[in-house]
Each structure stands twice: as structure tokens, then as C-alpha cells.
Amino acid sequence: MTDPCPCGSGLSFEACCGPYLDGKPAPTAEALMRSRYTAYARNDMAHLERTLAPRQRAAFRPAETLAWSADVVWTGLTVLAVTDGGPDDDTGVVEFRAAFEKAGEPMTLHERSRFKKKDGCWVYVDGRPGSTEPAPAPAAPKAGRNDPCPCGSGKKYKRCCGR
């Protein structure tokens, strides 16, 4: 039986991200993003470095990245949105959530990653934190029957808004 691809595509590693980690160019921005997730899951620093835009490649520190990921267990990838990034596009954006555990603590990376084609190959340009949902408003304190009404009428709640 073949191993499932860490990217969660439902395909085997060999039929999904394996060829990209071996050097085959990814056909879309999403395929590259999935292969980069898989590279993190498999500690493949060469693929991570190879698929960076030239400006980011100069700052990439494989040993530091490998040290960080030494106790990371990647637990799931969810692609939330894809804008452009197809075979005929020059740029693309992929928003995703990557779940992992670091030192046993569950964590999530939510990112909007930008990609571009460089010499016909997709490369990772940068990522920004993904959209966040606002925190829910705090619940209004409940008034007891004999408390003053929160509407400010001066009456007891049971004789005002509590009717």
C-alpha cells in the first residue's frame, strides 16, 4: 500500500506531491503550496529552498528551519481559497490553514500565500496572516428580576423590559 500524501489531497504521495519534491515543476500555485506543506511534513529543506522566489531564497536558513521543525508534527491542511495561480496565470494567491503540533501543543498557521511564475516555474513569494473573524461581542450582563432595568428607565427589570 502506498503512503497517502501529507497535503490531504486523498492521493498517494507518489501520485501527488512526490514528483514536485523530486524536482518536477508544479503546474499551479495550489500544487506548489501543497508540495511546500508536504516538504515541511517530510523535512525536505531542499524543496523549500528551491521553490522560494530569489529574493526570499537569499534569506532562507535551512538548518534553522530544520531545527524549528524537529519536534513539529503536521496534522492537516485545508485550502480555503485560491485566486488565479492556474497553468496559464503568472501570479496566484492561496489561502490555507495548516494544523500542526509543536512540543505536543496543537497550533494552526492561517496564511494567504502569494506565488508567481519565474522562468515558467511557480515560486513562493511571501505569506501574510489570513483573514481573521472578529471576536464575538461580550454578552450583555443579564438583569435579575429585581435589578434596575438596563434600559435606564429607573424601574425594576421585572416591571420594565422584563415583561
What does the mean pLDDT of the chain come to?
A: 88
Cell numbers placing 111? 496564511
**Domain extent listing, the chain:** 13-159
Reduced to 3 states (helix: H, G, I; strand: E, B; else coil), residue 58 is coil
Nearest C-alpha neighbor of 125 from the set 99, 87, 96, 94: 94
Query: Is the pTM above the cut of 0.85?
Result: no
135 pLDDT more than 50: no
- Give residue 150's pLDDT: 66
The answer on pLDDT for 41 being more than 90 is yes
Report the top-level CATH class of 13-159: alpha beta
